[in-house]
Amino acid sequence: MASIKVTVIKRDNSDNYYARWTDPVTFRERRKSTKTKIKRDAERFALRLEKEINEGSYYDQSKTKWADFKERYETEVMPGFAIESVNKAQVIFRHVESIINPNLLIQVDADAISKMVKDLRETGLEEVTIKGYLIYIKSALNWAHSIGMLPSVPNFPKFKRIREEKAMRGRPLCLEELERMLEAVPSICGKDQAESWRFHLRGLWCSGLRLAESLDLYWDREDKLSIDLTGKRPMLRIRMESEKGNKDRLLPIVPEFAALLQEVPEDERTGPVFNPQARKKRAERMLPSTISKQIADIGEKANVVVGDKGNIDKETGKRKPRYASAHDLRRSFGERWSLKVMPDVLMLLMRHSDIDTTMKYYIGRNAQKAADVIWGADADSVTNLVTSDQNAENVKPSKQAKACK
């Protein structure tokens, strides 16, 4: 194969010199700006480019197709993700394709990303969710740039600082709200299926498991999340493929969850721990997305409102309410146990990858509730102490009291 020759030319509509050569595959003329007005510098640029083309190391980053980038990212990067992260990345890519619809990777630029943010806001997504999407996109584009598929990473829109108390999309539930949801189960899921759904809701309430984790929890499979009853205390064995922290871990189970598991007879402890049943018989288990939707329907039926969706109802002119979801049951677990254990223990129970997440969502938020617990628990003691102090004004201190002073 003959070597490719790169020459320098000057175009009438530009002050800079251009490198010109014939593409060895398409046999079409190609041009690339040298980005300089100085001919000697342009010739040096052309020599470097000629060497890269002939050695096969030259790659026109502006011609990278979105589909090629996506295929490489899914085969080279995503296998290192936890299952939940893979699913999230795929959802984000679908948003990019439906809103931006890029043919070339370079079309995912600052302008396109800004328009995507606008469209996502109009669908009712919260700022926290949109910001999380952009983190994934930026990480993927950084990878593409690092391997030479993208000339540069575009600028991303800046978000206003989100107040910590607004970071949660929902809120923790109280016991009375859980009971209302349990009562609403038959009307949403069917009377014959109600017990399997109630068991699942109670499991989410007292385990702190994410919905996907709960559906991946088995009694007798070591390749999945599993219950380990062989040691002194019941434990939860989490495989790295199903864990956000991407590590094999053995974690403690709280007594209330252990008590729930003990309700299951020993001869029935096979297969998935939680398996909510559909009204119609199926060959396969229900999809997590379907179960998530039905739990939200249960929350709506029970009228357990945990916030608003952000978007306005055109008929009423008010914000649409957000009803209790599976994740709000997890939040409830986190709040209850944040008042019982130290932050490092709560981090293990919630399976957070770092202590900052635990502190952000559960520790700093509970100052008032902690005060209520303290004063509620010690109210009688405080009253007795005040009374005894008043009575002690007329009583001479004992020898022991004097010694303590």
For 71-120, the pLDDT digits (tens) are 999 999 988 887 778 888 898 999 999 999 999 898 999 999 999 999 98
Kindly give, in sequence order, each residue whose CB lies less than 8 Å from that of residue 172, ignoring residues fewer than 6 positions away: 328, 331, 332, 334, 335, 336
What residues contact residue 336 under an 8 Å CB cut-off, 6+ apart? 172
* Residue 231: DSSP 8-state: S
**54 vs 47: CA distance, rounded Å:** 11
Q: Which CATH architecture has domain 175-335?
A: Orthogonal Bundle (1.10)
pLDDT of res. 368 = 63
What span, in angstroms and rounded, lies between the C-alpha atoms of 30 and 19?
8
pTM of the full structure: 0.58
Task: Write down the pLDDT at residue 377.
Answer: 53
Q: What CATH topology corresponds to 66-158?
A: DNA polymerase; domain 1 (1.10.150)
What pLDDT sits at residue 369? 65
Give the span between the Cα atoms of 249 and 50, in whole angstroms.
Answer: 53
| H runs (alpha helix) in 263-366 | 288-301, 326-338, 343-350, 355-358
Kindly list the domain boundaries of the chain, sorted by start residue.
7-58, 66-158, 175-335
Residue whose tokens read 């559960």: 362
pLDDT at 340 (0 to 100): 86
In angstroms, how far is CA 38 from the centroid of its own chain? 51
Q: What are the φ and ψ backbone dihedral angles of 226, each rounded to 5 degrees?
A: -145, 160
Could you say which DSSP state residue 280 is in?
S
pLDDT at residue 320, as a whole number: 81
CA pair distance 149, 354, nearest whole angstrom: 32
User: In the prediction, which pLDDT does 60 show?
Assistant: 60
Phi then psi for 47, rounded to 5 degrees? -65, -40
How far is CA 177 from each of CA 99, 186, 390, rounded to the nearest angstrom? 38, 16, 43
Per-residue confidence (pLDDT) for residue 392, from 0 to 100: 43
Task: Provide the pLDDT for residue 282.
Answer: 74
Residue 253 Cα distances to 235, 260, 271, 388, angstroms: 5, 11, 19, 43
**pLDDT, tens digit only, all 405 positions of the chain:** 568 899 999 988 889 999 998 876 667 788 888 989 999 999 999 998 888 777 765 656 567 889 989 999 999 998 888 777 888 889 899 999 999 999 989 899 999 999 999 998 887 777 878 888 999 999 999 999 888 788 889 888 877 654 444 455 678 999 999 999 999 999 999 999 999 999 999 999 999 999 988 999 999 887 788 888 878 888 888 776 655 555 677 888 999 999 999 999 999 999 999 999 998 887 788 888 899 999 999 999 999 998 877 656 667 667 788 899 999 999 999 989 988 888 888 888 888 877 777 777 776 555 666 666 667 655 554 444 344 444 444 444 333 333 333
| pLDDT of 307 | 85
pLDDT at 325: 93
Angular region, 170: left φ>0, alpha ψ -120 to 50, beta rest: beta
Q: What is the pLDDT of residue 324?
A: 93
CA distance 342 to 362: 11
Helix (H, G, I), strand (E, B) or coil at 30: strand
In this prediction, residue 387 carries a pLDDT of 46
Inter-residue contact 281 to 292 (CB < 8 Å): no
Beta strands in 213-372 (DSSP E): 217-218, 225-228, 235-238, 249-252, 305-312, 319-323
Q: Which amino acid is at 94?
A: R
Count CB neighbours of 206 within 10 A.
23
In this predicted structure, what is the pLDDT of residue 243? 56
